[in-house]
Amino acid sequence: MSAQAKLLLRVTGVAKRFGSVIALRAAELELRAGEIHALMGANGAGKSTLVKVITGEFPADAGEVTLAGNVTVFRSPAEARRAGIVSVYQDPALVPDLTIAQNMRLARVPLDAVRATMRELGIERLDLSRRAREIDYPHLRLIDLSRALASKPRILILDEITAALPADLSERVFAAVREWRRRGHSVIFISHRMAEVAALADRATILRDGVTVGVTATRDAEDKIVNMMLGAEVAKAAAAPQPRASAGIAPQAAPALELRGLTYGHALSGVSFRLGAGEILGIAALEGQGQQELFDCIAGVRRANSGEILANGRALELRHPADAIRAGLVLVPANRLHALLPQRSIRENVALSSLGTLGAWGPIAMRAERKRVESAVERLQIDKRASSEVRRLSGGNQQKVVIARWLAAEFRTLLCFDPTRGIDIGTKRQIYALLREVAGQGAAVLLFTSELPEIRLACDRAIVLFAGRISGEMPASEADEARLLRAAHGLAAPVRAEAPV
Amino acid sequence: MGAVHILRRNGGSRSFSHHLRAAGMPLLFLASILATLAIHRNFGAFDVQSLALGALPLAMAATAQAIVVISGGIDLSVGSMIAVSNVLSASLMQHASFRQSLGLAVLIIGLGAVQGAINGILIILSRIPDIVVTLTTGFIWGGVALLVLERPGGGAPSDFLEIGAGADLSPFLPNALLLLIVAVAVIWLPIRSSRLGLSLYASGSDSVAAFRSGVDPRLARILAYGLGGIFCAVGGVSLTMTTGIGAPLAGAYYTLSSVAAVVIGGVSLNGGRGGVLGPILAALLLTLLPMDLIFLNIDPNYGQVIQGTLIVLVVMVGGFAAFLQGRS
């Protein structure tokens, strides 16, 4: 790629906020004609938002998009398509209740051209008279790609297209992308899989917290890219790991929670680990590596296809969340409001989970409830000023109410799924201190967090999920972000090697 | 390897439930006709005609509702819009000639399109849910109908009434049925088979995917409500034809019955799925059922209970078929 190659698309200073959430602050991107350009960044760095701004799905708050020297503002993806920019979004843009043929007609893409590109991708046997709803997700993405290619874009954007594809289908996508470059067109390629990017892309632009932090050639730049994705302040935040307060607890014979070869569809395959009483086990993973399914299986929301879940040495049959709760496995979800009654008081929310126990005591129930709830609220230092409606509490305090509820009901294994999402740093610390205290009293905690630096702060041990398998395990003291991130990208993984063709 | 496997897995098994859903409504209608013949041996041209007359306005209302629901909305002003065009036509045509009446009918249908489009525009601009907007515009149009004609009355030239009430071709093929077929064939079918129709289905099914495919879901919404308004106006004018008068409060029945017809007729209330044939047959069914119950000498109050129970059963069977389809 010569430096003088023609500049096709230039993005400068693009910013976008949704309500109070800032998705993009200052995104920059320079795309040359005839290159495959990777767009990289951690979860929530703003990659998908940038794609949607470029393709006119919504307008930017600030900044400019320049296409072949002209400043352009697309008002819809259809306008971008007419100008030769087509994206395959993360969620397929095919209307579920229309057939594939009708979908093509809707987008004004000639059916013959789609058939030709479907042949190139090896999916020509797919029946075009079937409704999109009836077709599985990987094939929908390939059909979406076929439609995109059939409209002959000079800029093709692929947003994590390989995330849900089996290896054989991924290879076909790579071949198609290379062919597109050979014809002199450009491709913006978004992927979390470092090996893919290294094998496919010419250059990469790295986003962090909505800001473009660097552009680099991809050859032998894996460490450089990881460092740019991480940023300096994250490294600083990892400075003080929490001492393990529960060091004195004797290891029990049977772990509080044990998984043996848990498999769920394509999302999880053969996940095994043990979680002891008094331990906080962290789970690190990029988006969509099976962590949601893992927690759902343990919490009884989904049923695993095979494998065993044991609590205190006893094998469990989890058909329903109530089964998991009976077995002592309780969920603290990322979205607090899913677990709370937002219009009711702290007291009512905390008492909710223990009503069964308290009810058995008949007349003294009210007093017992008050005592129990008050001690839980006290212990967690919940801000009681707005105690009449939990929806008026801050996110962090709401999360504490969720934890308090389970403590009041004396549950001993907490499944925390990203409990600090969107919570300020101070309350975050309090929640982690709380988890540590709970563990110190003998509870077991399984903690998924989307913020990798927190693993080291909060956990005793960490396992990393990649593509539904455990790709790494390490004590928290060694779980620095670089190591976690490498494992989370499948780089340290012995299980799977992306074959560069 | 993976591709072929997945293709095969989804290939064969959709047929049964798929066809049950597609053919369910016509089969049910056929069964109820047979049941009617068994109950009422002398079922003849006169009964066919009274069925067609009774069902015509509801069939129009069901078509209007179906189009709106398919595009992802719901219209609770259907009854009031029918009432407005009913009283407008009955009061304006009372002393008009046949030719003037035809002109007035076209005008009123145009007005219906405007009424419907107002619903759509209000929904788009205010971002208030469809159900709230159309409920309130329904109140407004209901009031307008009372302003136009305070109590049942008015009329139209008998030649004009004959268009809907007669049976010119054959006693077994009443004009009302022809009118229904012509209205659907002229207004809906061309749109249904065009890209415009696809965009209605698309925005009802998944408006984000539709937007990314080049559809403007807002325009599709306005178009759907406008079309609904047209069918409501045709329904109101045909109500004048079949009853000979305008009745400002007659509309109330059509709002909920049109929703029932849409649900029985296999249109998903979530949008994107179904057609107008099912709801039209359901409208005929909903008219036939009370007739049968009268033939059977059943107390009309029990009749209501039986009718409601049958509707629930039909919807449950439809839901079961959808469940089977979802699993395959």
Collect all residues of chain A within an 8 Å Cβ-Cβ radius of residue B215.
Answer: 78, 106
ipTM of the complex as predicted: 0.82
Q: What is the mean pLDDT of residues B37-52?
A: 85
What confidence tier does A188 reach under pLDDT thresholds 50, 70, 90? very high
Contact B205 A96 (CB under 8 A): yes
What confidence tier does A236 reach under pLDDT thresholds 50, 70, 90? very low
Q: What token pair was written down for A135?
A: 């077709």
Taking 50 as the threshold, does the pLDDT of residue B7 lie above it?
Answer: no
| CATH number for the segment(s) A252-328+413-496 | 3.40.50.300
- Chain A residues with CB under 8 Å of a chain B CB are 57, 76-78, 81, 89, 91-98, 102-103, 105-108, 122-123, 125-127, 130, 134-136, 138-139, 166, 168-169
Collect all residues of chain A within an 8 Å Cβ-Cβ radius of residue B3.
Answer: 122-123, 125, 139, 168-169
pLDDT of residue A263: 93
E strands, A279-398, in order: 280-284, 306-311, 314-315, 329-332
H/E element holding A15? Answer: strand A7-18
Q: Give me the count of residues in chain A.
A: 501
pLDDT of residue B109: 97
pLDDT tens, B186-236? 999 999 889 999 999 999 999 999 999 999 999 999 999 999 999 999 999
- Judge residue A483's burial from the number of C-beta atoms within 10 Å of its C-beta, 0-12 exposed, 13-18 middle, 19 or more buried: buried
Taking 50 as the threshold, does the pLDDT of residue A273 lie above it?
Answer: yes
Q: What Cα–Cα distance (Å) separates residue A210 from each residue in A42, A69, A293, A489, B225?
A: 10, 24, 28, 21, 41
Q: Distance (Å) from the C-alpha of residue A106 to the closest C-alpha of chain B?
A: 6
CA dist., res. B195 & res. A283, Å (int): 48
Residue A175 neighbours by CB distance under 10 Å:
14
Taking 70 as the threshold, does the pLDDT of residue B14 lie above it?
Answer: no
Domain A7-230 maps to which CATH number in 3.10.20.600, 3.40.366.30, 3.30.420.10, 3.40.50.300? 3.40.50.300
Taking 60 as the threshold, does the pLDDT of residue A358 lie above it?
Answer: no
Q: What is the largest CA-CA distance in chain A?
A: 84
What confidence tier does A333 reach under pLDDT thresholds 50, 70, 90? confident
What is the strand order of the sheet A461-466 is part of?
A: A329-332, A413-417, A444-448, A280-284, A461-466, A469-475
H/E element holding A157? Answer: strand A155-159
Q: What is the mean pLDDT of residues B144-172?
A: 90
pLDDT of residue A244: 52
Q: What token pair was written down for A68?
A: 């072949």
CB-CB: which of B6, B195, B206 is closest to A96?
B206
Collect all residues of chain B within an 8 Å Cβ-Cβ radius of residue A95.
Answer: 201-202, 205-206, 209-210, 213, 272
What confidence tier does A232 reach under pLDDT thresholds 50, 70, 90? low
Give me chain A's average pLDDT, please.
Answer: 82
Taking 70 as the threshold, does the pLDDT of residue B5 lie above it?
Answer: no
Strand partners, B188: none
Taking 70 as the threshold, does the pLDDT of residue B33 lie above it?
Answer: yes
CA dist., res. A183 & res. B148, Å (int): 68
Residues of chain A with CATH 3.40.50.300: 7-230, 252-328+413-496
Taking 60 as the threshold, does the pLDDT of residue A321 lie above it?
Answer: yes
Pairing of strands A268-275, A280-284: unpaired
Taking 60 as the threshold, does the pLDDT of residue A267 lie above it?
Answer: yes
H/E element holding A358? Answer: helix A355-359
Q: What is the mean pLDDT of residues B96-115?
A: 96
Q: Distance (Å) from the C-alpha of residue B209 to the closest C-alpha of chain A?
A: 4
Residue B185 sits at φ, ψ, to 5 deg, of -65, -40
Q: What is the mean pLDDT of residues B176-184?
A: 92
Taking 60 as the threshold, does the pLDDT of residue B327 lie above it?
Answer: no
Residue of A nearest to B1 (CA): A168
The 3-state DSSP class for residue B191 equals helix
What confidence tier does A20 reach under pLDDT thresholds 50, 70, 90? low
Residues B2, B317: contact at Cβ < 8 Å?
Answer: no
Lowest pLDDT segment from A32-41, B5-14, B42-51, B302-311: B5-14
Q: What are the residues whose beta carbons fall under 8 Å from the beta carbon of A362, sequence distance 6 or more?
A: none
Collect all residues of chain B within an 8 Å Cβ-Cβ radius of residue A123.
Answer: 3
Q: What token pair was written down for A400?
A: 């504490």
Taking 60 as the threshold, does the pLDDT of residue A237 lie above it?
Answer: no
Which letter, b or e, does each residue of A271-286 get, where b requires 16 or more Cβ atoms within 10 Å of its Cβ? bebbbbbbbbbbbbbb
Closest-CA residue to A228 (of A240, A212, A242): A212
The dihedral over CA atoms of A358, A361, A366, A369, expressed in degrees to the nearest 10, equals -30
What confidence tier does A149 reach under pLDDT thresholds 50, 70, 90? very high
- Judge residue A196's burial from the number of C-beta atoms within 10 Å of its C-beta, 0-12 exposed, 13-18 middle, 19 or more buried: buried
pLDDT of residue A104: 94
Residue of B nearest to A78 (CA): B214
pLDDT of residue B251: 82
pLDDT of residue A2: 47
CA dist., res. A400 & res. A336, Å (int): 9
Taking 60 as the threshold, does the pLDDT of residue A31 lie above it?
Answer: yes
Residue of A nearest to B11 (CA): A127
Contact B215 A106 (CB under 8 A): yes
pLDDT of residue A355: 52
Substitution target in A106, A121, A172 with the highest count of B β-carbons within 10 Å is A106
pLDDT tens, A2-12? 445 689 999 99
pLDDT of residue B61: 97
Substitution target in B8, B205, B213 with the highest count of A β-carbons within 10 Å is B213
